[in-house]
Amino acid sequence: MATVAVYCICRLPYDVTQFMIECDACKDWFHGSCVEVDEDDAPDIDIYHCPNCEKNHGKSTVKKKKNWSKHDTGQSTDIKAVQNGSQVFIKELRSRTFPSADDVVVKLSGGQLTMDYLEDGGFNEPLLVLKKEGLGLSVPPPTFYISDVENYVGKNLSSYYSTALC
């Protein structure tokens, strides 16, 4: 029987409906509700330390912001816009239906996506490479995450690229 990975101090498996935060020291994941971190406050945390790591690494730190007022729209929380990427945002997004992209997306095999193809037809529509074989480049495994990028290039540089890409 397969074992299910458990997280947090509650030792429960991952649940997509619950906000989780990663400890920057031990790299374990914790439910915000279990470690008293509100999902709306998480983007303002610079370095998060779980209760166990706080003892050796110190308290979590908050990002230094020059203009905190840009987050305060003066609206009550009932009508304030949902933050992109939050669990509320994801839940709302999943509840919606969208038209099929099949009419727009061009599907190719790795061998079909060549420089000649791009030079002749341009890159005017979304391309979906169905199989990476023949593509002529290495792609990371599906288990490759932003934390792996941090390990290779360093936390400061990977944070720059994550915010630049979002």
| Domain contains 109 | no
Q: How many domains does one find in the chain?
A: 1
Q: What pLDDT does residue 123 have? A: 85
Q: According to the model, what pLDDT value does residue 166 have?
A: 47
Asked if residue 133 is part of any domain, the answer here is no
Per-residue pLDDT at 156:
67
Residue 22 three-state SS: strand
Burial (CB count <10 Å: 0-12, 13-18, 19+), residue 18: middle
The pLDDT of residue 158 is 47
Residue 144 lies in a domain: no
pLDDT in tens, 24-50: 999 999 999 999 999 988 888 999 999
Query: Considering the domain boundaries, does residue 18 fall inside one?
Result: yes
pLDDT in tens, 73-85: 555 555 556 777 7
Instruction: Give per-residue pLDDT as tens, 83-118.
Output: 777 788 888 888 888 888 888 999 999 899 988 998
- Per-residue pLDDT of 50-61, as tens digits, reads 999 999 999 999
Range of the domain at 11: 6-97
Position 22 in a domain: yes
The domain that holds 11 is classified in CATH as 3.30.40.10
Does some domain include residue 118?
no
Report yes or no on 35 lying in a domain. yes
Predicted confidence (pLDDT) at residue 6 exceeds the cutoff of 60: yes
Residue predicted with more confidence, 54 or 66: 54
Q: What is the pLDDT of residue 71?
A: 54
Go through 109-119 and write b for each residue having 16 or more CB atoms within 10 A of its CB, e for each that does not. ebeebeeeeee
Only one residue has tokens 């792609």, namely 139
* pTM exceeds 0.85, yes or no: no
